[in-house]
Amino acid sequence: MTSGAQTLIFPVKDLESAKTLFTALLGTPPQMDAPYYVQYNVAGQEIGLDPNGASKGLTAPVPYWHVDDINATLAQLVEAGAEPKDAVTDFGARRVGSVTDPDGNMIGLIQAV
C-alpha cells in the first residue's frame, strides 16, 4: 500500500546554488542541510537536493512513493515488468530502493521504519 509520491528528489551539480534557488522558490529554509543531501518539507511534500544524483545516473527529478512494505512492493513491481535499479538501503529511519519501468523511468520507494 502506498500513501503517495510524497518525496521528490532533484539531482544537482552545485548544492549551494540549488539550495539558494529552492529556498527562494519554496520560501523556507531547508529542514535538513548536510553536504550529502538537503531536504525541504513544504505542505506535506518533501523536496530533496542530491549532489550525488548525477553519479547515480539521475538526469531528472525522481518521485519516491511512500510504501508500507518496500520489499513486497519491489517484488510486485518487478513481477509487473519493472527492472530493479537500486537495492534497498537503510538510511536511519527510512529504507529506500528503486526500479525502472519499461520506458526507463525511475520509480523510487521509501518505507519508514
- pLDDT greater than 80 at residue 1: no
The 8 Å CB, 24+ separation contacts for 59-62 are 59/11, 60/11, 61/8, 61/9, 61/10, 61/11, 62/8, 62/9, 62/11, 62/98, 62/106, 62/108
Identify the band that residue 50 occupies on the pLDDT scale cut at 50, 70 and 90: very high
Domains and CATH numbers, the chain: 2-112 (3.10.180.10)
pLDDT digits (tens, 9 = 90+) for 55-99: 888 889 999 999 999 999 999 999 999 999 989 999 889 999 999
Identify the band that residue 35 occupies on the pLDDT scale cut at 50, 70 and 90: very high
pLDDT digits (tens, 9 = 90+) for 23-34: 999 999 999 999
Q: What is the pLDDT of residue 111?
A: 97
- pLDDT greater than 90 at residue 3: no
Percent residues over pLDDT 70 in the chain: 100
pTM value?
0.86
